[in-house]
Amino acid sequence: DKEYTFAIIKPDAVEAGHADAIFAKLAEAGFRVAAQNEMTLSREQAEAFYGEHKDKPFFENLVTFMTSGPIKVLVLSAPDAIKAWRELIGPTNTEIARADKPESLRALFGTDQTANALHGSDSSSSAMREINFFFDGWAYDNMPAET
Ligand code: CMP
């Protein structure tokens, strides 16, 4: 069934000019862009969005990176979108993606462990939280069913 997920084209990929190639790849893989916006995150927004990571050693680097330039925030739809998008983007660490999943979008467009080109929601509840974080009032009848 059709499902929605949330994606970010991160500052490294936008800065490198990879956005159009990423849009082409995701369309080819069967994803439709249901909503999109370009923005630069404030420190407050980045800290709130990544709140679950605030005690991790990489948190400061993550927030600095994510506020370093424009990002594109996307709502994507596809059958089984949450899982399918995470498969398409590949492992978090770009080096591991290049070694193990060379066709994945992080392998193709990422930089390193923190600057990894793309984000994807990890669950239905994350997708709902993240879509609402960036697309205030996004229609609930479009939202993924709880799993
Ligand atoms: P993402 O999975 O989209 O959301 C959390 C982000 O934190 C992740 O992408 C990376 O950008 C970053 N990250 C995760 N693990 C590490 C790590 N071990 N070292 C540095 N950055 C990380």
ipTM surpassing 0.90? yes
CATH class given for the domain over 2-40+71-137: alpha beta
pTM over 0.90: yes
**What residues have CB less than 8 Å from 21, skipping those under 6 apart?**
108, 109
- pLDDT value of residue 145: 55
Q: Where are the domains of the chain?
A: 2-40+71-137
Q: Residue 144: its pLDDT value, please?
A: 57
Distance 92 CA to ligand 1 centre (A): 6
Atom 11 (ligand 1): residue with closest C-alpha? 114
Task: Tell me if 62 CB under 6 Å of ligand 1.
Answer: yes
Report the SS3 class of residue 7. Answer: strand
Which amino acid, 132?
A: N
Percent of the chain with pLDDT over 70: 94
* Interatomic CA distance for residues 63 and 141, integer angstroms: 32
> What is the chain's mean pLDDT, rounded?
95
